[in-house]
Amino acid sequence: MEYKLTFDQYQKGLDRGEFLGLRCNACDTFTFPPLGTCRNCSGTDLEVTRLSGQGILRTFTVIRVAPEGMNPPYVVAMVELEEGAWVIGNLVDINPDDADMTLIGKKVRLGSQMVKGDIFSACDSRVITFSLIAN
């Protein structure tokens, strides 16, 4: 199977501050992070597209007991992007003890940060982060 957007290309985009996803030509669904097929119709007629990098925080949790190598507490959030795709990442620039239900529905801007590889990953990689956008 040919991948329209490889992990390496996706990572290099994040390194440049670009959020590269895929748009399905069959159903016009956006997939982010990229997959081998459309997340909606499983189609393979996909094109690489640059996403806006903004969305709405839909849910979150505060991690207080973390996997090995992570430093709790931190906030993991799920965001619905302007293009419709949903993505998970860390909500940064907030004290986890201040995280409450008023965060739901807030606008966020995507970013990324480098994380050190662990026993389950081949190397260091960039992960998605979110920052609140002031109203």
How far apart are alpha carbons 35 and 87 in whole angstroms? 12
β-pair partners for 81: 55
β-pair partners for 75: 62, 91
Say how far residue 79 (Cα) sits from the centre of its chain.
8
Burial class (CB in 10 A: 0-12, 13-18, 19+), 76: middle
How far apart are alpha carbons 46 and 10 in whole angstroms? 15
Q: Which domains can be identified in the chain, with CATH numbers?
A: 7-50 (no CATH), 54-132 (2.40.50)
High-pLDDT (> 70) share of the chain, %: 94
pTM of the model: 0.89
Digit-coded pLDDT (tens) for 6-36: 989 999 999 999 999 999 999 999 999 999 9
How large is the C-alpha radius of gyration of the chain? 16
Digit-coded pLDDT (tens) for 37-76: 999 999 999 999 999 999 999 999 999 998 877 889 999 9
